[in-house]
Amino acid sequence: MIINHPLLGPRDAAEFVYLGDACLIDRPDWQAEDAMERFHDYGYLRDNPAGEHRELWYHEQGDRSWLVVTRNTLTHEITHVELARDVARERGRDK
C-alpha cells in the first residue's frame, strides 16, 4: 500500500506503524461521572467496519507525524489522508 502523505507525498506503508480506529483521537474526559465506562469503551471496543475505515498511522520511519488515513478495508484503497493534528483541531482540541 502507498500512503499519500500530505507533507511528504507518496510513501510506502511499510514506513508506518498502525494504531487503529481514528476514534482513538477522542480521548474521554477523565473527570466525567462515567469516566470508567467511557474509558472501557475507548480502550477496548471498536467498530471494525467492512468498507470505509478512518484510522491512525504513525510515520515512524519518516517525519514522525500521525496521519488519519481513510481506507477501504475490503479493497485496501486509500481515498483520503490528513494530518491527525488537523483532524484533532477540527474536533475542538486545542493542541
Partner 1 sequence: MRYSAFRIFMEGLTGNKGWKPAWREPEPKPEYDIVIIGGGGHGLATAYYLSKEFGLRNVAVLEKGWLGSGNIGRNTTIIRSNYLLPGNEPFYEMSMKLWENLEQDTNYNSMVSQRSILNLFHTDGQRDAFVRRGNAMFLAGADAELADAAQLRRELPFLDFDNARFPIKGGLFQRRGGTARHDAVAWGYARGADSRGVDILQNCEVTGMDIENGRIRGVQTSRGPIRAKKVAMCVAGSSGRVAAMAGMRLPIESHVLQAFVSEGLKPVLPGVITFGAGHFYVSQSDKGGLVFGGDIDGYNTYAQRGNLPVVEDVCEGGMAIMPMIGRARLLRSWGGVMDMSMDGTPFIDKTHIDGLYFNGGWCYGGFKATPASGYCYAHLLAKDEPHPVATQMRLDRFRTGNIIDEKGVGNQPNLH
d(CA 49, CA 34): 26
* Cβ proximity of 90 and 26 under 8 Å: no
Interface with partner 1 by CB under 8 A: which residues? 1, 12-14, 18-21, 40-41, 43-50, 53, 55, 71, 73-76
* Cβ proximity of 41 and 32 under 8 Å: no
Give me the phi and psi of 92, to 5 degrees please. Answer: 95, 10
Q: How far is the CB of 77 from partner 1 (least distance, A)?
A: 10
DSSP 75: T
Q: How far is the CB of 76 from partner 1 (least distance, A)?
A: 6
For partner 1, give the closer residue by CB, 41 or 86. 41
Q: How far is the CB of 43 from partner 1 (least distance, A)?
A: 5
For partner 1, give the closer residue by CB, 52 or 63. 52
